[in-house]
Amino acid sequence: MTTHALPAAADLEVRRAPAARHRFVAVGRTLVRRLVDIAVVLFASATLVFVMLQLMPGEPEDVLLRGIFEITPAVRAEVIQDYGLDRPVLLQYGQYLLGILQGDLGASYQIRKPVTEIIAANIGNTAALAGAGLALAIAMATLIALVSAGRGALASLVTQAVELLAISVPSFWIGLLLLTAFSFAIPIFPSSGADGPLALVLPAVTLAIPLTGVLSQILRERMDEALDLPFVTTVRTRGAGEFRVRVRHVLRHAVLPALTFSGAVLGSLLIGTAVIETLFARPGLGRVLLNAVIAGDIPLIMGVIVFGAVLFVVINSLVDVLATAVDPRLRIEAGVS
Amino acid sequence: MTITAPRRVVAVALAAAVLTLSACATTGPATEADAEPFVFLSDLEPVCFDTGGYKNLANYNVARQILEPLVRQSVDGEYSPALAASWETSEDGLVWTLHLRDDVVFHDGTTLDAGDVQASADRFFVEGNTLSSPSWLTEGNYRVVDDTTWEFTLEDPRANILQQLSTPDFPVLSSESIEEFSDGDRCADPTTIVSAGPFVPTTYVKGESLALVRNEDYNTGAREGTAKVAEVEIRFVPEAQARIGALQSGQADAASAVPPLNADDLESGGFTLVDGAATGVPFVATLNTAGGPTADLAVRDALFRAADIDGIVDSIYAGRYDRAWTVIAPTTPPLGSYDDSIEGSWTYDQAAAADLLAGAGYTEKNADGILVNAAGEPLVLRWIFDSGDIRDQRDVLAEAIQADVRKAGIDIQIEKLDTSAYLARIEEGSFEIAAESWGQSDAYVVLTVAGPIVNYPKYQDAEVDGWLFEAWATLGDDEHRAELYRNIQERLNEQRVVLPLYVQNFIVASSPDYTGIAFDPVGYPTWFTDVERVAD
């Protein structure tokens, strides 16, 4: 909200162009910054994973082959060759980084497939689950926040209690309840697999419930704050109805933190849905990671960690760029005024 | 050696794709029941499907449907022909000649001959391969004699060779398919494993399911003819309650690995429970006889008496699993190996345990109520677990024993380790208790707890070693082998080397509409050949 005097119509015509240019420059600068971030995260995560491998007790080839009961000399030779383990550590590090830059995240010696292939085969199902869960959570949280914000102490207390419950009940338990109700007792949805949209419903709802709790907290608190701001009074004096005030004016104030949070959550969901995928027997990246941990498939764990770190920062960067485009204040922070 | 380790995995199958691939299965009009696949919910999905590379009993669920063994071992330990119609051995037991059937057709339509078996064996010795060959098969010691005759030579005579030939650890594949697909393909995708088993794999979705159709050319089964059910879908559902719910709501026809606590409920709900008793070494606590407090026989004996094993096993497993008394399970072949005279030979008696421990120098208790010896060292027993291998509430079992023996002043400390740390601790002997089970349908598996090869308890006894090797080399006299294995059990019991805990039962729940789920001799529900729908 500005306090400038209203400019003449002719001035507005002139100033529109620089504003658009500013926006473009701001978005461009944010984009460049984020690309640097991505490069840094890629480098840092790869380095961390490499150091982790060196620090684990035992020879690196034994660590990489952990979980395989009978390690034949041929498998050992293959691993030594793949990671250049017969060469000095610095060269190994260089080879590893170079491989990652070329999109080579290594191979699982248990499943006998490249890690990228395993990720590619599973990311779709997980993305569908995470996307559907997040979309559902955003819709429900927005609704709850719109209805409950600024309704007095009692309403606030009840909403908070519901939100806390949604956040604190374990997903596993929510999923089991949903399964029991809507698959076992009333057979509407299949209990396992990822075959078709029907199979997505229960896992997505399970995922959405705790997310809704957190998102709705963020939205509601911001809306509570915004409802007390002077501009709301101004809007009301112009004769705007309650619905218009909330949806058109107050909600906008709350969207940005919610957007940032959603970005962070989506990034972590893409490899963090193991519990739900296991319960609903869905293929997916979370389950791949969980099984890799159980089976001691170190190359797969390493690959998924690097992939997950990069994915996380990529998604958050996209959200940032989006936010810069949406919010004028961030353009100022980006160095363009 | 095949080791029972829990590898949780995944998969599912699509019926539509199955129809296109079962074009050969057109014998008469399909009935309503034929059109429905038999849906089996498995708790485990193999990490790698090639049993020539990844030996794990979890693979058998799938491997037994697809692969056909050279020799068939029945649940009672008898052998009958499968791919090999007959076999003979040289006088010294070293040269084995297998006479193959000439009418076996692989899933790709090619006919089995000795060249296929040869190629299946060669697979293990190709430069740079990553498989692990069965211990009986060594490079250059096998050959094609003629089209239907294949021969191999052992380095030492082995009494359990037929049992070894009956497992999926040596997959006989069509030689064309060995060329066409790589070992990596076979590992990751079971539909590239081309053998002659009762079912043909058609569609595999990792993390979800595997679809199988009946092999219409199958003629090497335990009975005449093909499998009774036309299609099977194995779904990989790791969560027990999800499996049970899906079975109860009619989304599946059978569910594997039913927790004992759910068994009564399912039974009263009209479901059929079938169980297969595991063979081999049951779940036992091996005691380190070479170091620490358990090096003292009196301490081991006290531990035997200080825990109420009967009560604990009964309450944790709801009476569905039996308490184990010796180092092999009662049904382990060869017949008569199990020494039932050990049953009931000691009782839960904490007073007796206290006397034994006093005799071992543990006379005082410290402030925590733990016995200490003259040097002031508390009686601490480290019980190590491979955390990747905890199933069947085995950790709960350990905690119950821990609580019980605490009353007798023994402090069991449970440590859950990852697989490699666990194996390292076993090797260096820094443990007092390590609990394990080894599924195997032959009593030779006692080598895991005695003798010079594996021997977790590090128990040295020349006489036991002698019996082990004698049994190993005893051909065609199972009675004598059984007697030797009974001697070993008796000695291990006297010396309190291994505290037996329970005999696993692999429990499968099935809808009353289906019968015929069979277990392989190891006790895994692995043969669906006789599964059939008995109701509409």
Check CB contact of A75 with chain B, cutoff 8 Å: yes
**pLDDT above 60 for A273:** yes
**pLDDT above 90 for B292:** yes
Check CB contact of A64 with chain B, cutoff 8 Å: no
Q: From the CB of residue B349, how many other CB atoms can be counted at a distance below 10 Å?
A: 16
B328 contacts B337 by C-beta, under 8 angstroms: yes
Dihedral-angle region of residue B270 (phi above 0 means left; psi in -120 to 50 means alpha; beta otherwise): left
How close does chain A come to B206, measured CA to CA in Å?
7
Catalogue all structural domains in chain A, each as residue range(s) with its CATH number.
19-110+325-337 (no CATH), 122-295 (1.10.3720.10)
Which of chain B's residues have a Cβ under 8 Å away from the Cβ of A77? Answer: 128
**Can you give the pLDDT at residue A335?**
54
Dihedral-angle region of residue B369 (phi above 0 means left; psi in -120 to 50 means alpha; beta otherwise): left
Which residue of chain A has the CA closest to B50?
A111
Distance between CA atoms of B410 and B64, rounded to whole angstroms? 45
**Residue B414 β-bridge partners:** B383
Assess whether B495 and B512 both reside in one domain: no
Residue B428 in domain: yes
**pLDDT above 90 for A14:** no
Residue A16: pLDDT band (50, 70, 90) is very low
Which of chain B's residues have a Cβ under 8 Å away from the Cβ of A109? Answer: 130
Assess whether B185 and B245 both reside in one domain: yes
Contact at CB, B248 and A72, closer than 8 angstroms? no
Mean pLDDT of the residues in chain B: 88
Q: Coil, helix or strand for B411? A: strand
The residue among B433, B196, B41 whose CA lies nearest residue A191 is: B41
pLDDT in tens, A18-61: 466 677 787 788 888 888 988 999 999 999 999 988 888 778 88
Q: Where are the alpha helices (DSSP H) in B98-256?
A: 114-122, 161-166, 175-180, 183-188, 240-248
Comparing A9-18, B4-13, B331-340, B442-451, the range with the smallest average pLDDT is: B4-13
Residue B8 in domain: no
In this prediction, what percent of chain B has a pLDDT beyond 90?
Answer: 68
Comparing A63-67, B33-37, B497-501, the range with the smallest average pLDDT is: B33-37
* Angle A149-A152-A158 from CA coordinates, rounded to 5°: 75
**Residue whose token pair is 């998604």:** A315
Residue B2 in domain: no
**pLDDT above 80 for B41:** yes
Bond preceding residue A203 cis, omega within 30 of 0: no
Task: Enumerate residues 263 to 292 of chain A having a beta carbon within 8 A of any beta carbon in chain B.
Answer: 277-284, 287-288, 290-291
**Can you give the pLDDT at residue A256?**
81
- Which of A59, A112, A297 to mutate against chain B (most B CBs within 10 Å)? A112
Q: How far is CA B456 from the centre of its chain?
A: 18
B173 contacts B194 by C-beta, under 8 angstroms: yes
Q: From the CB of residue B157, how many other CB atoms can be counted at a distance below 10 Å?
A: 15
Check CB contact of B206 with chain A, cutoff 8 Å: yes
**Can you give the pLDDT at residue B29?**
38
The residue among A254, A193, A192, A198 whose CA lies nearest residue A224 is: A254
Residue A253: pLDDT band (50, 70, 90) is confident
**Can you give the pLDDT at residue B32?**
45
B286 phi, psi to nearest 5 deg: -85, 135
The residue among B165, B143, B163 whose CA lies nearest residue B152 is: B143
Assess whether B225 and B333 both reside in one domain: no
Assess whether B305 and B329 both reside in one domain: yes
CATH of the domain at B341: 3.10.105.10
**pLDDT above 80 for B184:** yes
Contact at CB, A72 and B132, closer than 8 angstroms? yes
Range of the domain at B245: 15-274+507-533
Assess whether B485 and B526 both reside in one domain: no
Distance between CA atoms of A294 and B375, rounded to whole angstroms? 41
In this prediction, what percent of chain B has a pLDDT beyond 70?
Answer: 93
Residue B36 in domain: yes
**Can you give the pLDDT at residue B182?**
93
B362 contacts B356 by C-beta, under 8 angstroms: no
Check CB contact of A171 with chain B, cutoff 8 Å: no
pLDDT in tens, B403-438: 999 999 999 999 998 777 888 899 999 999 999 988
Distance between CA atoms of A177 and B242, rounded to whole angstroms? 11
Residue B536: pLDDT band (50, 70, 90) is low
Q: From the CB of residue A117, how many other CB atoms can be counted at a distance below 10 Å?
A: 14
Q: Which amino acid is at A167?
A: I
Highest-pLDDT range among A9-23, A140-154, A195-209, A285-299: A195-209
Check CB contact of A122 with chain B, cutoff 8 Å: yes
pLDDT in tens, A68-97: 766 777 888 888 888 888 889 999 999 999
pLDDT in tens, B438-463: 888 899 999 889 888 889 999 999 99
Which has more pLDDT, A336 or B352? B352
Assess whether B185 and B317 both reside in one domain: no
Check CB contact of B396 with chain A, cutoff 8 Å: no
Q: A128 CB contacts (<8 Å, ≥6 apart)?
A: A194, A200
**pLDDT above 60 for B4:** no
Assess whether B266 and B306 both reside in one domain: no
CATH of the domain at B122: 3.40.190.10
**Can you give the pLDDT at residue B251?**
93
**pLDDT above 60 for B2:** no
**Can you give the pLDDT at residue B231?**
96
Residue B6 in domain: no
The residue among B528, B532, B534 whose CA lies nearest residue B65 is: B528
Q: Coil, helix or strand for B364? A: strand
Assess whether B463 and B323 both reside in one domain: yes
Which residue in B7, B209, B235 is closest to A295 by CB distance?
B7
Tokens standing for B307?
Answer: 């825990």
pLDDT in tens, B357-391: 999 999 999 999 999 999 999 999 999 998 777 88
**pLDDT above 70 for B489:** yes
Contact at CB, A187 and B9, closer than 8 angstroms? no
- Mean pLDDT for B259-268 is 91
**Can you give the pLDDT at residue B46?**
87
**Can you give the pLDDT at residue A252?**
80
Contact at CB, A66 and B420, closer than 8 angstroms? yes
Assess whether B24 and B93 both reside in one domain: yes
Q: From the CB of residue B392, how many other CB atoms can be counted at a distance below 10 Å?
A: 19
- Mean pLDDT for A231-243 is 85
Mean pLDDT of the residues in chain A: 84
**pLDDT above 90 for A230:** no
Assess whether B495 and B511 both reside in one domain: no
Assess whether B366 and B387 both reside in one domain: yes
Which of chain A's residues have a Cβ under 8 Å away from the Cβ of B54? Answer: 68, 110
Assess whether B323 and B398 both reside in one domain: yes
Which residue in A110, A278, A281 is closest to B235 by CB distance?
A281
Q: Where are the alpha helices (DSSP H) in chain A?
A: 9-55, 60-64, 73-83, 89-101, 115-148, 153-168, 171-179, 198-227, 230-237, 242-244, 251-269, 274-279, 285-295, 298-326, 328-333
Residue B1 in domain: no
Which of chain A's residues have a Cβ under 8 Å away from the Cβ of B131? Answer: 72
Find the Cα–Cα–Cα–Cα dihedral A6, A7, A9, A11, rounded to 10°: -160
Distance between CA atoms of B506 and B363, rounded to whole angstroms? 43
Q: How far is CA B102 from the centre of its chain?
A: 31
B513 phi, psi to nearest 5 deg: -70, -15
ipTM (interface predicted TM): 0.79
Residue B371 in domain: yes
Residue A322: pLDDT band (50, 70, 90) is confident
Q: From the CB of residue B150, how many other CB atoms can be counted at a distance below 10 Å?
A: 28
Distance between CA atoms of B281 and B284, rounded to whole angstroms? 7
Residue B74: pLDDT band (50, 70, 90) is confident
DSSP tally for chain B: helices H, then strands E: 16, 23
Which has more pLDDT, A149 or B302? B302
Q: How many domains is chain B partitioned into structurally?
A: 2
**Can you give the pLDDT at residue A17?**
44
**Can you give the pLDDT at residue A226?**
85
Residue B3 in domain: no
**Residue whose token pair is 């294995």:** B485
